[in-house]
Copies of this chain bind each other. A is one copy, B any other.
Amino acid sequence: MHALILGAAGMIGRRLVDALVKDGQVGGQTLSALTLLDVVPPAAPEGFSGPVRAEAADLTAPGAAEAAIAGRPGVIFHLAAVVSGEAEANLELGYRVNLDGTRLLLDAIRAANVADGYRPKLVFTSSLAVFGPPFPKVIPDDHILRPASSYGVQKAMGELMLADYARRGFLDGIGLRLPTICVRPGKPNKAASGFFSGIIREPLAGQEAILPVPDTVRHWFASPAAAVGFLVHAAGLDLAAIGPRISLTMPGVSATVAEEIEALRRAAGDKAVALIRRAPDATIARIVGSWPEAFEPEAALALGFRADGSFDAIVAQHVAEFHGG
């Protein structure tokens, strides 16, 4: 099985490549070739003996989508996107990358399907941002699509078009609405959600972390490993059996900031917790206050998608990766 990963240089993309290479298979078939594309050149993976094409590519450039699938990959992971804050700040960029990029990919697949019967599995990463307030405390699978951001609108439009092209038989498709990734590795960033990871990551590294919201704030999380697990699991599913609602809210861990802090304490003690500095920020609190708190992802659970076991497990995954266990 030849796998194409769009967005292969990103935080999830790199881990997905590593996981596929380590597994040596995808969707129950031997991994035979890799095409890795991103706006920056992805690193070629170590330990894979098959052919690898790792290139910088802009999916919205003329001919780029056709070139991406020229090798007729059997499975495509479409992770390429402009993130939420950037899509809000730059409307044209967001629609171009998140909507047009997805549409160009879908249309390249359709043209290939018409030309030679090509019909890949397409695993599309969507987002909780397809939902918007008002929210019930626990959000069911059939909650209305009403995004409160341009990013959410673009992802919802992608979900709709993916479902249409799957219904018409051009591809086998599935959309995964990923939880907020935590603990996100790397440096602190300006994303409104950054503190959810920062209050774990920084103290574990002996550094101060800023907490701009009350301890009672609750949100929906998955570790990077769990997110990669969702993608790998999706590639192995019989997508013909899923039915018409192919974009699924992924399971996660619903945790409050207070619960995050107690998990940090259990992992690294009071000294680590003391590095969290409370600095209330009304703007961030207002943004985060409009976010969902918990989901009941029945469809995804029934299909075998599995979240991290607890927030302690989320912390443990980060510790094992970055602090030698």
A156–B150 Cα gap in the complex (Å)?
A: 15
Q: List 8 A-B contacts (CB under 8 A).
A: A144-B145, A146-B245, A147-B164, A148-B167, A150-B164, A153-B160, A156-B160, A160-B160
Q: How far is the CB of A97 from chain B (nearest CB, A)?
A: 15
A143–B141 Cα gap in the complex (Å)?
A: 11
A133 contact set on B, CB distance < 8 A: 244
Q: How far is the CB of A76 from chain B (nearest CB, A)?
A: 20
Q: How far is the CB of A129 from chain B (nearest CB, A)?
A: 12
A91–B143 Cα gap in the complex (Å)?
A: 28
A145–B110 Cα gap in the complex (Å)?
A: 23
Q: How many copies does the complex hold?
A: 2
Residue of B nearest to A161 (CB): B153
Which of B146, B150, B153, B160 contacts A147 (CB under 8 A)?
B160
Which of B132, B160, B245 contacts A157 (CB under 8 A)?
B160
In chain A between 154 and 187, which residues have their CB closer than 8 angstroms to a CB of chain B? Answer: 156-157, 160-161, 163-164, 167-168
**A142 an interface residue at 8 Å Cβ cutoff?**
yes
Q: How many residues of A contact B (CB 8 A)?
A: 23
Q: Are B145 and A142 in contact (CB under 8 A)?
A: no
Q: How far is the CB of A313 from chain B (nearest CB, A)?
A: 31
A142 contact set on B, CB distance < 8 A: 143-144
Which of B144, B148, B150 contacts A144 (CB under 8 A)?
B144
Q: A156-B160, A160-B153 are known contacts. Are A144 and B146 too (CB-CB below 8 A)?
A: no
The 3 A-B pairs at the shortest CB distance, nearest first, are namely A153-B164, A142-B144, A157-B157
Told that A132-B244, A145-B156, A153-B163 touch, could you supply 14 new A-B pairs with CB distance under 8 A? Answer: A91-B110, A142-B144, A143-B144, A144-B144, A145-B160, A146-B244, A147-B164, A148-B167, A150-B164, A153-B160, A156-B160, A157-B160, A157-B161, A160-B160
A244 contact set on B, CB distance < 8 A: 132-133, 146, 148
A164 contact set on B, CB distance < 8 A: 147, 150, 153
Residue of B nearest to A157 (CB): B157
